[in-house]
Structures are given as structure tokens and as C-alpha cells.
Structure 1
Amino acid sequence: MTAPDVEVKALVFDVFGTVVDWRSGVIREGEKLGRATDGNVEVDWASFADAWREEYQPSLGRVRQGEIPWRNLDALHRESLEGLLDRFGVEGLTDAEIEHLNRSWHRLDPWPDAIPGLSRLKPHYVISPLSNGHVRLLTNMAKRAGIPWDLILSAELSGHYKPDEEAYLTAVDILDLEPDRVMMVAAHEGDLDASREAGLRTAYVHRPLEYGPEAAESAEKPDDSAYDIVADDFVDLAERLDAPSIV
């Protein structure tokens, strides 16, 4: 589909997997740790990254269902990491090394099209993350990678993790817009479906490599009618929203 009929004023973006390549980043950081420990830590870091990500939604779910009190994503990731180190037989790490590995999620790289696409969109729309990552994490990530956000929005500001409705509507309130003037951009259909139920417009961006090259072959893009926009990447999204190139 092309740009929606209602004039969109702001674009809010899922981050992990949509803006940044979490899997390659965690693998890179794990391999660095292995070298720094003179090879004493030998792990299949691709499997480790996948296992860590598998803990993500269950961790959020425990907060959303009231099983545990609100904790930011660093705290949830650290709890998962402690269990994974034991499961993968990793021993002898100092607390500082464990914490540095935990903060790998602050040091992820954008997909190659992300910053060019965001740079095209920025003059025409307010652009912001709307992630389950907390404000400090998203700020650190943006400063390191040069992601050109206008402001930082996070589920942390609502005290609810996506896909709770409050996460989306708090962002809409902060932007001082009606929900249908805000477009949620994500590579994950569950995120988009929940934001649409909250009244936001939706744009799907295809990220077949999110779970690695082997998974890319089976990664399916939804039909063009599924969301307001179904795009191949952020540059394609900018083109569909008629955001011209910056000369």
C-alpha cells in the first residue's frame, strides 16, 4: 500500500530487530569476551544469542502479568543471562564481565538501511523509538550508533511493556497527537496488531535476517493489505511515505 489517507505526523519504531540487528551484536560481543578471556570462554555465541532472545517475551510476560514487579530491560536481561551462563557452562566470569556482556543490548548496530531511511523521514515526521528498552538503553544506543531520533519514547514511561495498550497510548499522549496521526513501524506483526488495536497506523518493515541467514529463507512478508504500509526496508518506507532524498 502507499501512504495512508490520514496525515501521519509522527513515526514510532520498534527497535530490537526493526532498527538494530540484535543477533549479530550479541554474537560480536560474546566473541569479544571470548578473546578477552584468552579463550577460556568457549561458547556457540549464535546459539547463545538465540537462547537469550527466547527469554525476552517470557520475561516481559512475568512483568505484564504481575508475577514480578516492574523492572527495566537491563534487569530482566541480567536475570536471563545468569541462567544462560549456567546452562551453557560458562564459569569464571567476573561480575564486571557479566555486566558488560549484559549491556551488549546498548551497543547494537543499525541495519544498513536504518539511518539512511530515518534521515529521509526526519525532516517530514517526528521520529522516535517506541521500544521495550528503557530510556537509558535507547539513549546509549542512539548516541553510539548515530541514530537520529527527535526524542526517546519507551514503554518504561508507561510502566507497561508492549503489547499492553498503555505503552502505545502513553507515547501518543506525550506526542500530543491523536492515535491515527501516529504510525507504529515494526518488523513484528504482534507489535503492529496491538498498536492498531490502540488506534495507531501501522507500517511493517521486512527483516528476514533478524534470526540469521539460515532463518531468512523461511521468513515471510505479510500481504500488502495487512497493514497501512508493507515495506522492504526503511528506505522503501520513506519512498512510500513520499519522503524525498536529502541532497
Structure 2
Amino acid sequence: MSPDASPRSVDAVLFDTFGTVVDWRSGVAAAVAEFAQQHGFDADPGEFALRWRARYQPAMRAVRLGEREFVDLDVLHRENLLATAEELGIALDRVDDAEIDRLNRAWHRLDAWPDAIAGLTRLKRHFIIGPLSNGHTALLTNMAKHAGLPWDVIIGSDLTRAYKPDPEAYLRTAAILDLPPERVMLCAAHDEDLAAAQRAGLRTAFIPRPQEHGPAQRADPEPGGSWDVVARDVPDLAARLLDG
């Protein structure tokens, strides 16, 4: 732990959500499998989930660069869903829009990693906790209800009008909480997210999620930066912040 990252050096511990708090790959793959079975599509659910997710950052990049107006993640996810299906030769033209929308909202119905809720519950007794995510408020609220995430506050990207790693995503979140950036910590399993948060003046904590992308994962197997805290999981983060 950084000498400056004492239990009282921050007021809020916020979390990247997709991959850090919830297991998006398993949840999305399960929804794809159900959808494919219902409609008689031949699809590898895990591969579909990975390809769908691979379009996530490129889709947000157009918003960050000002090439299109801000739209929320449901819009981007639906566009990416249709593009992924086309890429894999899956014709959705005969599928009702409502059923496509339900599949798209699989991102609202993701389960937490097994360690997450216990660790968040302990942190909640001492810090403001919430997501610092590219998800919008409705998505993150639905996810919290589905997974039982005990957030104090949910500040979606529709409120900050910025997508990470745009510095405004971090700075506007801190401002909404009426906190200076250095009193806010971001916990994430992704070095790129933490590096951007650190440049914006936030404290940082890394926890590994080696199964986020499945058995073939290569990204972020261990911390790749000088973060304030490196923990095994969310309960270990709570212990390091609170027990020293």
C-alpha cells in the first residue's frame, strides 16, 4: 500500500464494474445460449460474448472523440450486438425487436464475482461505495438489484456524459460527490482504467480478474502500474484499507 493510501486518505471507493465487480462473460454467454436455442441459431455463446465485448471500446471512442453525440451503453451495445451477429453470419431480421432488446439487456443482468458482495459490504461501513463505470444509471441500477450490489450511490455515464478513459469521466464523478479527486479511489482490474484515473488525480487499487475473458485471457494478469493498493480480491482490498 502506498504510504499516502491510509484508511482515512479517501472518502469514496468506487469500482469499475464490468469485469471487476461482475462477471460479464459468463452472464452474456448464458443469455446468448438461451437466445440461440430459442431461435435455432448455431452460435458459440462464449465466442459471441467475446466478440460483442471487443466492440465496446471502439464504439465509445467515437463518442470520446466527438464524432457522435453521447448515447448510452444500451444504444452502443445494441449496435454492437447487431454487428456481431452479422459478423458471425447470424441473421436476426426475423427476430422480434423486443427479443433482441431482451438479449441486449443481458448486460443489466450480470452476476457478481463470488468475493465481491462481502468485500463491498465491509467497505460500505467506512467509505462511500459505488460504480465508476461506462454503464448508465438505469443499467447500473438494474445490475445492482439483480446481483445484490450494496452501492451507496450510482453515478452513471449518462450523468457525467463521458466515457472512460476520458478524464472527465473520473473528474465529474468526483465533483458530483463533492469530493476532490484525491479523496476518491478507483478499484479496477484493468491497468488502462487505473492509469487514466491516476492521471486525473484519483487514488488507485488493482485487483486481478484472470478469468474475465475466459481461459485464454492475456490482458491484465497482474498489476502493470504503480497503484496505491494491490489486492487479491474485494475483501482483501477492504482488509488492506481498513486493517493496514
Q: What TM-score do the two structures reach when normalised by structure 1? A: 0.92
- Give the alignment partner of residue 97 of structure 1, picking from 96, 99, 105: 99
- Partner residue of 2:238? 238
1:87 CA displacement:
1.6
Task: Report the CA distance between 1:83 and its aligned residue.
Answer: 1.2
Native 8 Å contact 1:187 1:207 kept in 2:
yes
1:204 aligns with 2:206: yes
2:196 aligned to which of 188, 194, 205 = 194
Is the 1:124–1:243 Cα contact (8 Å) retained in structure 2? no
Contact 2:81 2:104 in 1 (8 A): yes
What CA distance in whole angstroms lies between the structure 1 residues aligned with 2:182 and 2:70? 29
Cα displacement (A) at 1:82: 1.1
Mapped pair 1:28 → 2:36 = no
The answer to whether the Cα contact below 8 Å between 2:191 and 2:220 also exists between their aligned partners in 1 is no
* Paired position in structure 2 for 1:42: 42
CA distance in 2, matches of 1:36, 1:220: 36
Residue 54 in structure 1 maps to residue 54 in structure 2: yes
Task: Compute the displacement of 1:219 (Å).
Answer: 5.1
Gaps of 5+ in 2: none
- Indicate if the aligned counterparts of 1:120 and 1:243 stay in contact, CA closer than 8 A: no
Structure 2 counterpart of 1:84: 84
Give the structure 2 partner of residue 150 of structure 1.
Answer: 152
Q: Following TM superposition, by how much is the alpha carbon of 1:117 offset from its aligned partner in structure 2, in angstroms?
A: 0.6
Considering only aligned residues, what root-mean-square deviation do their CA atoms show, in Å?
A: 1.7
Counterpart CA distance in 1 for 2:36 and 2:185 is 41
Q: CA deviation at 1:243?
A: 6.0
Alpha-carbon shift at residue 214 of structure 1 (Å): 2.9
Query: How big is the shift at 1:69?
Result: 1.1
Bigger drift between 23-32 and 83-92 goes to: 83-92
Q: What is the DSSP-based 3-state SS (H/G/I as helix, E as strand, rest coil) of the residue aligned with 2:216? A: helix
Rounded to whole Å, the distance in 2 between the matches of 1:136 and 1:219 is: 28
Question: Using the alignment, how far apart are the partners of 1:153 and 1:231 within structure 2?
Answer: 24
Deviations 1:151-171 (A, max 9, x none): 101222121111111111111
Distance 1:193 1:187 in 2: 11
CA–CA separation in structure 2 for the residues paired with 1:73 and 1:160 = 11
Are residues 1:220 and 2:221 paired? yes
Structure 1 unaligned blocks of 5 or more: none
Question: In structure 2, what is the equivalent of residue 116 of structure 1?
Answer: 118
Query: How far apart, in 1, do the equivalents of 2:170 and 2:158 lie?
Result: 11
TM-score, structure 2 normalization? 0.93
Report the CA distance between 1:86 and its aligned residue.
Answer: 1.4
Distance of 1:226 and 1:176 partners within structure 2: 26
